Amino acid sequence: SITSLTALEILDSRGWPTIKTTCTLADGTRASASIPSGRSTGAAEACELRDGDPARYRGKGCRQAVANVNTTLHEALRTTAFASQQELDQALIALDGSPNKQRLGANALLSVSIAFARAIAAQQKRPLHEYFSYLIREQAYQPTRFPRLTINLFSGGRHAGKQVAIQDVLIVPSAARSIDESLVMMNDIYHAAADRTFARYGMRLLTADEGGLAPPFEDSEAMLQAAVAAIESAGWQPGRDVHLALDIAASHFYRDGRYLLDDRRLSPLEMIDHLSDWCRRYPIVSLEDGLAEDDWQHWPLLQQALGEKILILGDDLLCTNPERIRRAIDSRACNGLLLKVNQIGTLSEAAAARSLAKAAGWQVTISVRSGETEDNWAADLAVGWAADQFKNGSITQSERLAKYNRLLEIEAQRPLPIVDWPLV
Ligand code: PGA
Ligand code: ZN
């Protein structure tokens, strides 16, 4: 059973406050977990509790969330012997009692959910990915494969000061047969892109939130062209060895029924045509948030147009929320879930979101956030939950490398096949 929960306000990779919680069990086992934070967030995400005091961190302080762990949750949860992660998470949900976790804060609740998971894994003397594996498989602790990586190369949208409309151009090292090979390929492509960026724009600009390059591209399509050119300069063949994944993050440039894509003003049908045209001309295998989170009406048309060939991922659309996933399955809105645990607030609810998506035959990309910490639990989650893809940002910042390095460590201990995707 839990004997104490203590939380601390720490800073994330953008320098904004977040929460780190330590969970101590009766036998003295102790473990901590830190919680990330998004910037291009979906409207339906669980509530991240912020203090709102403009004198401190522009209102983004997390002292109230910290206090909720140290008092309410500590008092209510200590000495109860939880038989499972589900029981603990149910208690967290009940103690909060609000529909979107605004009372105690999804950040506070998730920090306890994951610190508890890590403490139990430590008590069982198992790596965290085995414990995560157990949560979805019941009884089977052994992971069977690694996810295919989708790695940020170029950033736009809210992660890069909106110099272009779309948010991420990601590299998919499809020919790689291991995590190690994936990172070797990505390093080649990243440095080819950095050299070309320097030659073209006179700068490397490593300032986007997830560490991607973010030069002042003329428009969104220039990012796609630059990505293909970088893959070729690195000596790989686009469409055979390496593919592209895009996060359009279209909710963030959708106004009054129109998509403000760079200097265009597209209707939803024109937007679908535009994306289809990109998918014909570039080696794109995954399209995330191609339409806005509340444009439910047009998602099935996007899925019909492209879903046979590529992954149509819902991030803002779904917010890792089982109700929204159910709606998307019923309306055939997409064929993939972008899973971010802090969009829903407990491990058990995220596991339910995952199994719903899997039961519908969808693929699941496990993703970190644009504001991350040096904690690496997301890497264990991607392995333990057998993610089809793992989206963790660029290879240039330590909050990202904490996860990539953890994958390398797991791979060194236990080489496993990497998901074959796309089928080339
Ligand atoms: P966020 O961005 O963490 O800022 O929400 C990531 C994404 O949109 O996938
Ligand atoms: Zn996204």
Cα 28 to middle of ligand 1, angstroms: 36
CA 288 to ligand 1: nearest atom: 9
Can you say which residues are annotated as belonging to the binding site for Mg(2+)? 247, 288, 315
Can you say which residues are annotated as belonging to the binding site for (2R)-2-phosphoglycerate? 167, 340, 369-370, 391
What is the Cα–Cα distance from 387 to 145, expressed in whole angstroms?
A: 9
| Active site positions, annotated | 210, 340
Is-contact 240 175, C-beta < 8 A?
yes
Residue 123 in tokens: 């008590």
User: What's at 72, amino acid-wise?
Assistant: T
In 3D space, the residue among 68, 222, 210, 232 whose CA is nearest the CA of residue 153 turns out to be: 210
Residue 316 in tokens: 């803002």
Cα 370 to middle of ligand 1, angstroms: 5
Cα 81 to middle of ligand 2, angstroms: 38
CA 249 to ligand 1: nearest atom: 8
pLDDT of residue 143: 86
Is-contact 7 108, C-beta < 8 A?
yes
Name residues contacting ligand 1 (CB within 6 A): 38-41, 167, 247, 249, 315, 367, 369-370
Cα 236 to middle of ligand 1, angstroms: 28
The residue to mutate among 169, 370, 391, having the most atoms of ligand 1 within 8 angstroms of its beta carbon, is: 370
Helices (H), 282-384: 299-306, 322-330, 347-359, 377-384
Query: pLDDT 10s per residue in the chain (424 long)?
Result: 999 999 999 999 999 999 999 999 999 999 999 999 999 999 999 999 999 999 999 999 999 999 999 999 999 999 889 999 999 999 999 999 999 999 999 999 999 999 999 999 999 999 999 999 999 986 678 888 999 999 999 999 999 989 999 999 999 999 999 999 999 999 999 999 999 999 999 876 677 999 999 999 999 999 999 999 999 999 999 999 999 999 999 999 999 999 999 999 999 999 999 999 999 999 999 999 999 999 999 999 999 999 999 999 999 999 999 999 999 999 999 999 999 999 999 999 999 999 999 999 999 999 999 999 999 999 999 999 999 999 999 999 999 999 999 999 999 999 999 999 987 5
Can you say which residues are annotated as belonging to the binding site? 167, 247, 288, 315, 340, 369-370, 391
What is the Cα–Cα distance from 75 to 52, expressed in whole angstroms?
A: 25
pLDDT of residue 423: 73
pTM value is: 0.98
Is-contact 83 116, C-beta < 8 A?
no
All residues with CB under 5 Å from ion ligand 2? 247, 315
Helix (H, G, I), strand (E, B) or coil at 342: helix
What is the Cα–Cα distance from 168 to 210, expressed in whole angstroms?
A: 9
Which amino acid residue places its CA nearest to atom 1 of ligand 1? 38
